Structure 1
Amino acid sequence: MSDKPQARKRQPEYVRQQLLSSAARLAVEKGPASVTVSAVAEAAGVTKGGFFHHFPSKQALVEGLFDEVIRQLDHDIDQFIAVDSLDYGCFSRAYIRTVFLDSHTENSWAVLSFTLGSDTQLTRKWDSWLANRLEQHQHTDSDPQLEVARLASDGLWFSSLLHRVRTTELFPHMEQRLVAMTLTAAG
């Protein structure tokens, strides 16, 4: 048996995900100012050198958070669209349902708010993502009523971040009302 310490298996993707998760958790629980290189590295259980191995700067981490949230949103939206039997408004319904998801959405949308609020380049990236999704679903989701429903869900998301509207009795019924707006064309 060797006297050398056993080397830990490198798991770069796991460490990267830990850094992203730690940054998201800090942003949600303690606010955007708490997301520092030192705090994220400590929360993830890595050194600052480990942090910089995965992200050359805090800005790169913020961009990584944004990309991760968009990847998750795309996944969730596509899952909802796949089981939707009605073409008209399918993207809008999926978008709304994603806003109201309980499992991860509050954190995802809070992280999205943090990243968008910190960088106009990311705001442009969000605008581009949304424009691409709307272009992809132009034949099903171009009705102005659908845009109103999506914007209302955005407003509820933002309000929930500021005022904790999710705890009111009204919030659970809003998803049903917004989805109902997407079921028939405005007449």
Structure 2
Amino acid sequence: MAPIKQHKKQPAETRQQLLAVAGNLILEHGLVNLTLDAVAKASGISKGGLLHHFPSKQHLLNGLIFDLHERFRQRLAELAAADPVPEGRFARAYLKAVTMNRDEPRNKLCSILAIEARGEPAMRSAWRDSTREMLRRQSESGADPIDMAIIHLAADGLWLADLEGAFEDSPELFQRIVARLEQMTRR
């Protein structure tokens, strides 16, 4: 009789796999069609295994929101660190993070969750805390804190207008607005 292979448990990797599968399913079928059964089937993990990591669909969505938020924060830190001009650095990083690679799957997923899950307490809390932190960091950058807050809030509005398709007929207007906001960070 052949020995049974024991798989090492890797909870962090399993969690990330489940979040990735959930994200892909949302991109393919929409948030409203996401089910725990679909995530379990697509991931090849039993429903019991899924429920061990995420006891409900809401826990799964909260985990996905948290994961995307952390990845966004990491991207912001990378962009800010790569900017050689300290004054306004964080505002430029934020502007880049919300306006570049708009068709990247992770950015589309963030958009879907931001719009469709906006009523969820975890999403509102993550958005509020993130905005407060970013406004605080921008005020510490040495640039005028009011100007940096205006740029941050304008970038959010630009992102939301883009989500709603406001620039489908005029992508050059979108780029011109981004360029103007970026220019404002250097005053």
User: Fold match, TM over 0.5?
Assistant: yes
Cα RMSD of the aligned pairs, angstroms, is: 2.6
In the alignment of these two chains, the number of paired residues is: 183
> What is the one-letter code of the residue matched to 1:7?
Q
The answer as to 2:159 corresponding to 1:160 is no
Between stretches 71-80 and 11-20, larger displacement belongs to 11-20
Task: Within 5 Å, give how 1:1-187 maps onto structure 2.
Answer: 2-102=1-101, 103=104, 105-114=106-115, 116-140=117-141, 143-163=145-165, 165=167, 169-170=171-172, 171-184=174-187
Residues 33, 157 of structure 1: alpha-carbon distance in 2 compared, 3 angstrom cutoff: same
Render the CA deviation track for 1:56-95: whole Å, top value 9, x for unaligned: 1111111111111111111111111112222322221111
* Rounded Cα–Cα distance in structure 2 between residues aligned with 1:142 and 1:127: 22
Give how far 1:178 is off. Answer: 2.2
Residues 114, 32 of structure 1: alpha-carbon distance in 2 compared, 3 angstrom cutoff: farther
> What is the one-letter code of the residue matched to 1:26?
L
Name stretches of at least 5 consecutive residues in structure 1 with no aligned partner: none
CA contact (8 A) 2:91 2:138 kept: no
Give how far 1:146 is off. Answer: 2.5
Give how far 1:147 is off. Answer: 2.5
TM-score, normalised to structure 2's length? 0.81
CA contact (8 A) 2:40 2:47 kept: yes
Give how far 1:145 is off. Answer: 2.9
CA contact (8 A) 2:135 2:152 kept: no
> What is the one-letter code of the residue matched to 1:120?
P
Render the CA deviation track for 1:1-24: whole Å, top value 9, x for unaligned: x42442333332222111111222
Render the CA deviation track for 1:138-186: whole Å, top value 9, x for unaligned: 23255333223222322232233332847853244443232112111xx
CA contact (8 A) 2:62 2:123 kept: yes
* Rounded Cα–Cα distance in structure 1 between residues aligned with 2:166 and 2:28: 13
* Rounded Cα–Cα distance in structure 2 between residues aligned with 1:21 and 1:167: 32
Name stretches of at least 5 consecutive residues in structure 2 with no aligned partner: none
* Rounded Cα–Cα distance in structure 1 between residues aligned with 2:24 and 2:170: 24
Identical-pair percentage: 30
Between stretches 132-141 and 83-92, larger displacement belongs to 132-141
Render the CA deviation track for 1:18-74: whole Å, top value 9, x for unaligned: 111122222233221022211222222222111101111111111111111111111
> What is the one-letter code of the residue matched to 2:184?
M
* Rounded Cα–Cα distance in structure 2 between residues aligned with 1:168 and 1:46: 45
CA contact (8 A) 2:99 2:178 kept: yes
